[in-house]
Amino acid sequence: MARRFGVESGIIGVTAAAVVSVVVAGALAFSNVGGPSKAEAEGVGSGQQKAKRAAAPVDSSIAHSSDRPGRSLNITIDDGPDPVWTPKVLEVLKRYHVKAVFCMIGPQAEAHPDLVKKVVAAGHKLCDHTVSHNTAMDKKPQSYQSQQILDAQKMIEKAAGGAQVEYYRAPGGAFTPYSRKLAADHGMRPLGWNIDSKDFEGGTVERIESTVRGELPTRSGPTVLFHDGGGDRSRTVDSLNRLLPWMQSQGFGFGFPQR
């Protein structure tokens, strides 16, 4: 049939070509009826991705457990990013193939967008740790809590080039029912911790290591708290260099807090 159309007159050839074009166009149109295109289905475009994230429900309870089954830990790093200590923490995490959640203070992220982007590029996740790190957040009015949480989220996501902030951690654990719901409504799961390394206190690397080792066997799916900001974090870096391989030798894997 195709060969015959090829030798017919110009009028017939044009008519046949038009018929084929109509049939093909109709088939293509019909193929899209009742379902989105691949690009639409995958949410291509930052606007669509943000809308998709906003539509996904987030639990407002405080997360502690890991999304990784079995013997698993969540490593969380607070109070950065810091131009001295965040790169060193990133190096240690890379050395042992560990992913972590970085709980960032809004103005710190705004001041160091290059570090925020490095954190994201390395496969780590972002957490909102407010604008001012006020550990009395739970004593403040809702308007203050809202400003602290939402302004920080905007600062961090802008510094990250649009990457989503997936968690919210109240400074000092000063959550309120309002702040938890507000964070969840904006796509951020409230994030707690099971084990405090105490790396922010004055003390030796051995003390930090002993604190974590001592508490680890008593926790199920623990989230461990470290810091990369707020002061000299050389002890944190040294502690992570010791603790991460030890954790792996004990059969622990590393995941992210449940969403």
pLDDT 10s digits, 65-102:
999 988 899 999 999 999 999 999 999 999 999 999 99
With cut-offs at 50, 70 and 90, classify the pLDDT of residue 20.
Answer: very low
Does 114 participate in catalysis according to the annotation?
no
| Whether 227 is catalytic | yes
Q: How far is Cα 11 from Cα 30, in angstroms, rounded to an integer?
A: 28
- Predicted local confidence at residue 201, as pLDDT: 87
Question: Is the overall model pTM greater than 0.75, yes or no?
Answer: yes
Dmax of the chain from CA atoms?
94
Per-residue pLDDT at 53: 55
pLDDT of residue 47: 54
Q: Mean of the per-residue pLDDT values for the chain?
A: 83
Sign of CA dihedral 224, 228, 230, 235: positive
Is the domain 62-254 a CATH 3.20.20.370 member? Answer: yes
Three-point CA angle 109, 85, 144, nearest 5°: 35
Residue 248 has pLDDT above 50, yes or no: yes
- Quote the pLDDT of residue 116: 98
Distance, CA of 147 to CA of 198 (rounded, Å): 29
Is pLDDT larger for residue 10 or for residue 50? 50
DSSP code, position 164: P
Q: How far is CA 68 from the centre of its chain?
A: 15
Tell me which of 64, 78, 186, 228 is the catalytic residue: 78
Q: What angle separates helix 85-95 from helix 113-121, to the nearest 10 degrees?
A: 10
* Model pLDDT for residues 156-196, shown as the tens digit of each residue: 999 999 999 999 999 999 999 999 999 999 999 999 999 99
Peptide bond into 81 cis (omega under 30): yes
Only one residue has tokens 């992570």, namely 240
Instruction: Give the C-alpha separation, 90 to 95, whole Å.
Output: 9
Q: Which of 64, 124, 129, 227 is an active site residue?
A: 227
